A and B are shown apart, each in its own frame.
Chain A
């Protein structure tokens, strides 16, 4: 199909959805129209991305009369942009369909207008970020995306922590915006901000300036992607937003941080020194470890998933850092392989994270609870959600034959291939990175067992879980879409490898053959992973065992009885393991990281302190990263703003004097700039 037509459909659908949210009367029709428009827009984005990738041609468009002060609107969808556009469309579609059922309770409330309009605007701005071809357009839609998502994060008044979460998010995203602005200014060196022009102008930069641009943009995009230590907004903002928005934020928006960095480093800037890659690789490992360690310890369901997003983006940046490192040392093919591994993991993560956040929304919607400690036994009351969550959790845990394992395996292989090329710095860095990835993979499996087991299995731990209701059919269908993708991408990862290889070779050197039939293969280390055949072997073995069980003991007596609790007479849900208890052995191993705090309050009878009425234990994880890294900033800002308050003297003469003072300053500055 014609790309321009698809683009028009995409923007038109989003615009129509936003307009309908404002114009139509409150009610179910508004919700359905707005969200169906969002779905159509997402589907068009998906089709546009697929079309550009399939055809291998770039689509461009220009509107010079829009945004004139910023240099006009210039759009370009090349293979890289198409890939990320595809991811946004692919996650936007199930999120929109899910919201049709999920947001039913908002019908008739004024809030629904803003929620549905902002949803469409959010999707549109994300799609446009991947199409932007000059700095002005990029920054404009970046800011629109930030504002739309901020408003969506604080949109639910029932979330007590939403305003604080929104504040963290707003401050950090705007700090990133300033860094981006500064980087573009340095990069442009006073000339045009068009990306092709910047591509050429960057070669004229001094190495120091190039390094500064890299650090500024890495900080800005890294913050959006949730790299440590700039990740602190993510575990606050993602849980506070409505679940379908969280799904988009975790599965689509964080990827734009990846997109920005790849665009910058692989497209706009010339090949840089190895320390760029080493820095990203190191930060990636730290991020992945931090994310997975916290995701194991948290008990708020959506915060577990948010930290898991941090972990997976860490894995993506390990691939990216590796690619940069190899490029710095001149191994172009290895660099491209690393880039392919990073992009594959981005796609896979988008699929299973979207599924899991939608499933979390389903669980929260059905039980009216958010803490894992209040769940349990949901597999019997919400069977469809449980089944789909199991697929998502298996993908998150990185076990074969699902897609989480496919990209993790590829990351392992490229790290081993890189380690075979000796260079002194790599002798220490790459084995440590490999060990880090392996530890993260193991801990992700732990997190997955805990997530699924505590939430869905055993007996209900609260009345909300006891009376849980399954989600409506549209919500289940919406969850099934990414679930199918997880399975398909796991069994046949080679279906996307050619496109990813094309992206990598467009940006650098060809990556070499990475697929052999349905198997991923890395000739450099002569290894292969044929997920489809492995799945076939496993399923046949399991089926054979099932047949044997059926046939051999046909008259075997099978009874249903109480669970064996060592003969305890009173059996209840209190004897089950809790989410905090499940993570306890790990918390002991990593005490230095978690810094757990414990507070015991003993309430005694006023008559005598030997009669204890109640004992309350509060065990918490101290948020030491925020304290250590952001505490000084927050305190300094407060101190400065307290000082500035003195300007609010109440004297009208002072306020009136400020006006000509400002005009004078503007006059002087404009004369000086001339």
Chain B
């Protein structure tokens, strides 16, 4: 019992702590691809520290929802992060929830972020909320079918069980169902975390914003918490992509050697995925907002094909 809580706690803290570094790493890779020196990988930590210590200006039209939202977002994202298998495939967090719960917790965070965007009564806040909720709603079917595909091959929707089963039977990971589900999951990941081609995280043009528009009114520690929660969300989804579909290197026991090896493995996997993300963001341009549903429909079709093929290869 205590040991389970410790494993869950350590994995959660690990995810939370390395999240800004992942964001900094992706930014560094993008800078290098643009021919620039770029900032250090630890720059996001400095930014968060600075923002946390800054003062705040609160809109006079805001209500207690504005003050509550950052903390709910942090709570929901941390709760989602506690479910993710980071280094250990023997996952006691399966007692808390499975992939559906994780997706729903991320939706809870998005819900309050959208409310926080609507609260001050600015036009851009409403616009960001509207677009973000639409994209989030259209991403849900893809995630559900991807979960179904994983459940069909591994017999469970719980994260640790999926990772453990794929670890034991590598043949699952090469099947067409698994590969198609991986592709669909990656597209859903881009939509959920607001990266190119769905949304540009560093844009200044409000009319092209989705995620950024909702936080234009936030400042100081509230802003720091929201930015950091967004980084945790990205790291969490990248970890899921890595450990559910390519779980090699994960620890199946609590031996220190296995744990250290698993830590190295996840760092390497995150580095590779981060590099791929930077390459993608350099190569593609942002999609028109009204073309984004087409991209999401593509990911949904891939997921359906994945589910269908899992039925027929059983």
Contacts and interface: CB of A to CB of B under 8 A. Distances in A.
Report if A and B touch in the complex (beta carbons < 8 A).
yes
Interface of A: 376-377, 379-380, 390, 394, 397-400, 405, 409, 412-413, 416, 419-420, 422, 427-428, 431-432, 434-439, 441-443, 445-446, 448-450, 452-454, 457-459, 519, 525-530, 533-534, 537-543, 545-546, 548-549, 552-553, 556-566, 573, 575-577, 581-586, 588-589
Contacts of B137: 439, 442-443, 445-446, 586
Interface in B131-174: 131, 133-134, 136-141, 143-145, 147-148, 151-152, 155-158, 161
A434 B131 contact: no
Given A397-B111, A556-B54, A585-B289, 18 more contacts: A399-B104, A399-B111, A400-B104, A400-B105, A435-B141, A435-B303, A442-B140, A457-B115, A458-B119, A526-B157, A526-B161, A527-B97, A527-B98, A558-B57, A563-B59, A563-B120, A577-B129, A582-B126
B97 A529 contact: yes
B308 interface: yes
A432 to B, nearest CB: 8
Interface stretch (B36-44, B61-69, B195-203, B253-261): B61-69
Contacts of B161: 526
A560 B265 CA distance: 48
Given A449-B133, A529-B101, A399 B53 contact: no
Interface stretch (B23-31, B75-83, B238-246, B274-282): B75-83
A549 B221 contact: yes
A401 to B, nearest CB: 9
Nearest 9 CB-CB pairings of A with B? A577-B126, A458-B121, A442-B137, A438-B144, A542-B75, A442-B140, A538-B75, A541-B78, A453-B118
B10 interface: no
A42 to B, nearest CB: 32
B114 interface: yes
B300 A585 contact: no
B101 A561 contact: no
Nearest to A443: B137
Contacts of B95: 519, 528, 530, 533
A434 B120 CA distance: 37
B111 A449 contact: yes
Contact of A577 (B57, B72, B127): B127
Contact of A416 (B52, B108, B148, B206): B148
Contacts of A445: 107, 110-111, 133, 136-137
Contacts of B152: 419-420
B176 interface: no
A563 B140 contact: no
A75 B118 CA distance: 52
A208 to B, nearest CB: 32
B189 to A, nearest CB: 16
13 contacts: A377-B121, A390-B65, A419-B307, A443-B137, A525-B151, A529-B97, A533-B95, A534-B97, A537-B79, A542-B74, A552-B52, A562-B60, A589-B290
Interface residues of B, number: 89
B56 interface: yes
A438 B78 contact: no
B79 A448 contact: no
B45 interface: no
B118 A577 contact: yes
Contacts of A442: 107, 136-141
Contact of B62 (A549, A563, A566): A563
Contacts of A556: 53-56, 220-221
B237 interface: no
Which of A427, A448, A449 lies at the interface centre, i.e. has the most chain B CB atoms within 10 A of its CB?
A449
Contacts of A436: 141
B236 interface: no
B139 A585 contact: no
Contact of B119 (A394, A457, A575, A582): A457
Given A419-B148, A561-B57, A542 B72 contact: yes
Given A379-B65, A458-B120, A553-B220, A559 B129 contact: no
A67 to B, nearest CB: 49
A545 B70 contact: yes
B53 A552 contact: yes
Nearest to A431: B307
Given A528-B96, A556-B221, A438 B141 contact: yes
Nearest to B62: A563
B217 interface: yes
A563 B114 contact: no
A545 B71 contact: yes
B126 A537 contact: no
B216 A564 contact: yes
A521 to B, nearest CB: 9
Contacts of B114: 449, 453
Contacts of B115: 449, 452-453, 457
Contacts of A398: 104
A156 B87 CA distance: 63
